Amino acid sequence: MYQYHTLSNGIRIVFRRTESPVIYSGVYINIGSRDEKPLEYGVAHFIEHSIFKGTEHRRAYHILNRIDGVGGELNAFTTKEETCVYATSLAEHLERCLELFSDVLFHSVFPEKELVKEKEVIVEEINSYQDAPSDLIFDEFEEFVYGEHPLAHNILGTKKNLRRFTPQFVRDFMQRNYTTDRMAISVVGRVDFDRLVRLCERYFGEYPRCESGATRSEKPVPQRFEKILNRHTHQMHLLMGCPAPNIYDECKVPFTLLNNIIGGPAMNSRLNVAIRERYGFCYTIESQFNPFSDAGLFYVYAGIEPEAFARVKDLIHKELNHFAEQKLTAQQLRSAQRQLIGQMSISNDMGLNEMQSIGKACLNYGHVDTIEEMSQDVMNVTAEDLQLVAQQFLTEKEFSLLCYK
């Protein structure tokens, strides 16, 4: 189902053919905010913005118009461990997309005038983010739980750091980190694989093989904490969390299933039924499982009235304790498995989601599981597996708490 190729310089290609007239393409780079040193905090995100501001061959307007001008969409994002530049376009414009990816990743010049303007854009992004407590609380939680570890700091960086990012500073960071061994080209759409390989050879194969000598920092040691901060918010924002499996942990699949049962996106999640539907204590309550390469976090978030704080906290722990104390029945397990498989299949049917997920999988694992293989992994999870991971990770003494009021 998935086809692979590695260019002579080490850049990997992963592809799945579809018959849609729309094609999804992108380049994943295994570099994120955790790879920054303190004086670099925010530079990976800044680069994600700045590569569109001018190359040796194009000015900013021509970059932005190259894909959007034919009805497509060019975009990028940064996480704590990856950067991705991607596009959605008609299949006939794939070559245009690949050529542009190559241009912005290998030929960006970072014009000083454009960087000054982009710094102001990111300052406003930081201001906007600080005005969104339901988003900010997750990053602040990670800052407290990971302390001085690079996973702790915010992807956006700081306004102070932004001011010191010169064109040469940015180029130096890219040269050290955006190496061919850390890149994967991901494509989902209607193109012959042989042609895709030829296009990638044409636009990416000319760059010499380069490998990063840098290694990621040591595994973080989570610190437990409880903090209630006065942020003068209209509602109380409650975030509870604990360490969870990393992306390579054999517990990842059962924990993913458990998280989906507890507080996944469906309206029948245990927390939604037990706390919102039964008592009306909140409008939003959800859980998230965020695995990194060497760590992971499980969160429960709720927006509540202050008077409900103690009751909601107790109800959350009661629901979580239930999974450690009692195994799911066979019927409950099968229902949960069917639900997660259905959600994965629907998400994977959206080409952009699939392109991004297979690019990330290619970087992290060197291969991509098919939806059938992922479904079988979910079906292999037993009620005993779920109870064991609940007992291992979801004990009350492991949880930290952050609350805005």
Residues β-bridged to residue 27: 85, 185
> Which of the 8 DSSP states describes residue 369?
-
The CA-CA-CA angle for residues 311, 314, 315, to 5°, reads 85
Angle at 147 between CA 143 and CA 151, to 5 degrees: 65
Residue 121 is encoded by which pair of tokens?
A: 């854009």
Q: Which of 216, 260, 258 is nearest to 364 (CA)?
A: 216
* Cβ within 8 Å of residue 116, ≥6 positions away: none
Cβ atoms of 283 and 331 closer than 8 Å: no
Strand pairing class (183-189; 83-90): unpaired
Q: Report the Cα–Cα distance between both ends of the chain, in Å, rounded.
A: 50
206 in active site: no
Asked if residues 242 and 298 have their Cβ atoms less than 8 Å apart, the reply is: yes
Question: How distant, in Å, are the alpha carbons of 15, 266, 308, 371 from that of 132?
Answer: 37, 24, 22, 35
CB 101 within 8 A of CB 48: no
Paired sense of beta strands 400-404 and 226-229, if any: parallel
Identified catalytic residue from 48, 82, 114, 142: 48
Q: Which residue has the tokens 């993913």?
A: 256
DSSP 118-171: HHHHHHHHHHHHHT-HHHHHHHHHHHHHHTTSGGGS-TT--HHHHHT--HHHHH
DSSP 370: -
236-243: strand order across its sheet:
226-229, 400-404, 236-243, 296-304, 282-291
- DSSP, collapsed to helix, strand or coil, labels residue 88 as strand
Nearest CA-CA partner of 154 in 129, 177, 134: 129
**Which tokens hold the place of 306?**
């202050």
Tell me which residues are annotated as active site: 48
